[in-house]
Amino acid sequence: MKTKIIFLLIISTILSSSCLFGQNTVSKGEYLSEIRKERASKDREFLTAESSPIETGKKSAFRGLNYFKPNPAYRVVAELEVFSNPDTIKMKTTTDRLPLYLVYGKVDFTLNGKRHSLTVYQNIALMIKPGYTNYLFLPFKDLTSGEASYGGGRYVDLQTDGGKTIIIDFNRAYNPYCVYNKKYSCPIPPDGNFLETEVKAGEKDFHN
């Protein structure tokens, strides 16, 4: 049940921000402002929501999540290749749980002056829900993992419109809930989803 709540909270953020920056609707300044508002909203949710991963006894010491400064350079347009005969895998997690994911395709993009390729997935339990068929899951590690960011990797949620390109906004990269509470079961980014660059965007490692 907690896993479902996590996905729905994340997806609500995507819905509220999918029209931002590069869609001819807002300016760079408005985009950065929206990122900051989202972060402030998440801090409030972590402090007050019943679904918060922060243990009740530790909320009094909670001072907010740690983030890299938002930077539009980390919002990239990627080429999306959808696999014609996708495999289904049991993705490893921080516990014995092995959720099913569809190996949806791959994304190719330029970041920090280098070309990169990552695999994107669909959570099968989520994709069968009405309205969620276009949502993709991008788990990754990078050269900040284990240093400035969480060593177990981070996630970015994507939304496809059926086209050949897709927006990847690393400013919205977030930590798995097990960073805050070990009772959660969190997917571990597959070995191939490692970026040979520093992604100084999104959430940093958490130190309360």
Per-residue confidence in pLDDT tens, the chain, 208 aa: 444 434 444 444 444 444 444 444 679 999 999 999 999 999 999 999 999 999 999 999 999 999 999 999 999 999 999 999 999 999 999 999 999 999 999 999 999 999 999 999 999 999 989 988 999 999 999 999 999 999 999 999 999 999 999 999 999 999 999 999 999 999 999 999 999 999 999 999 997 5
Q: Which of 104, 119, 84, 132 is nearest to 192 (CA)?
A: 119
Q: What is the pLDDT of residue 208?
A: 55
Angle CA(61)–CA(66)–CA(70) in degrees, nearest 5?
Answer: 150
Task: Tell me which DSSP letter residue 188 carries.
Answer: P
Does residue 202 lie in a domain region?
no
Does residue 36 lie in a domain region?
yes
Q: What is the pLDDT of residue 131?
A: 86
Q: What is the pLDDT of residue 197?
A: 98
The dihedral over CA atoms of 183, 171, 188, 182, expressed in degrees to the nearest 10, equals: -10
Total domains in the fold of the chain: 1
CA atoms within 13 A on the CB side of 132: 19
Does residue 81 lie in a domain region?
yes
Q: Dmax of the chain from CA atoms?
A: 50
Does residue 64 lie in a domain region?
yes
CA atoms within 13 A on the CB side of 206: 21
Does residue 83 lie in a domain region?
yes
Query: What are the phi and psi torsion angles at 78 (to 5°)?
Result: -110, 150
Does residue 188 lie in a domain region?
no
Q: What is the pLDDT of residue 207?
A: 79
Q: What is the pLDDT of residue 7?
A: 41
Query: Which structural domain, as residue segments, surrounds residue 123?
Result: 2-179
Does residue 191 lie in a domain region?
no
Does residue 164 lie in a domain region?
yes
Q: Which of 7, 76, 62, 68 is nearest to 39 (CA)?
A: 68
Q: What is the pLDDT of residue 25?
A: 60
